[in-house]
Amino acid sequence: MVFAIAALFLQFAPAVQALPDVDLGSTSAVVKSAPAPTNAVLVEPKPATASSPKSDSTGASSSTLTMASLETAVQNSQALSTIRLPDPPAAKPIRVISAEEYPHRNWLLLSIAQHSAAAFDAYSTRQAVATGASEADPFMRPFAHSPGIYAAIQVGPAILDFAARRMQRSQYSFIRRSWWIPQSASTGMFLFSGVHNMSVANRH
């Protein structure tokens, strides 16, 4: 029986063989270099220039929008270019007029005549008041009984002298030409008042 079991082992022994060690590097190399099977289906890549209908429609719409925006910008620029703003009115040149352009001598002569006429009016007023008359001017009435009337009556002519000098420098030709009127009118009024006062003093 022992021989029968040994014979069975001997029959199965050639079928059992040890597997050799497998080198992974050589296996991977074999796998990499293995030719493609003949029944494999090769899929060619699509060209990069081909695009889907959706992308075509998107590109077409974006280009359309770009052209529309450009046309709108051009129209707006043309519309703005057609708008003309009115030119600002030309500023009137301001002419600086110097008082030296007018005869200073005439102004000075009128000033002397005016102050002299005012002094004559003050003198005649003092003479009329001394004979019993009363001063009709409410501004000169407080000074009628004192020598202060000579100084008080010169305030008005001084103001008119200054006004006449400013009128000589006015920008308006009419005012520049009539600068002598205030001084002349004041001189005439003082002379008339002085003559009237002297007549009143002589009557009394």
Distance CA 157, CA 170 (A): 20
The per-residue pLDDT for range 72-84, each reduced to its tens digit, is 766 666 666 666 6
Q: What is the pLDDT of residue 136?
A: 86
Across residues 101-127, what is the average pLDDT? Answer: 90
The per-residue pLDDT for range 48-67, each reduced to its tens digit, is 444 444 444 444 455 555 66
Q: Are 178 and 167 in contact (CB under 8 A)?
A: yes
DSSP conformation class of 94 = P
pLDDT above 80: residue 121: yes
Distance spanning both ends of the chain, measured CA to CA: 199
Q: Which of 129, 124, 132 is nearest to 142 (CA)?
A: 129
pLDDT category, 34, cuts 50, 70, 90? very low
Distance CA 179, CA 165 (A): 7
pLDDT category, 112, cuts 50, 70, 90? very high
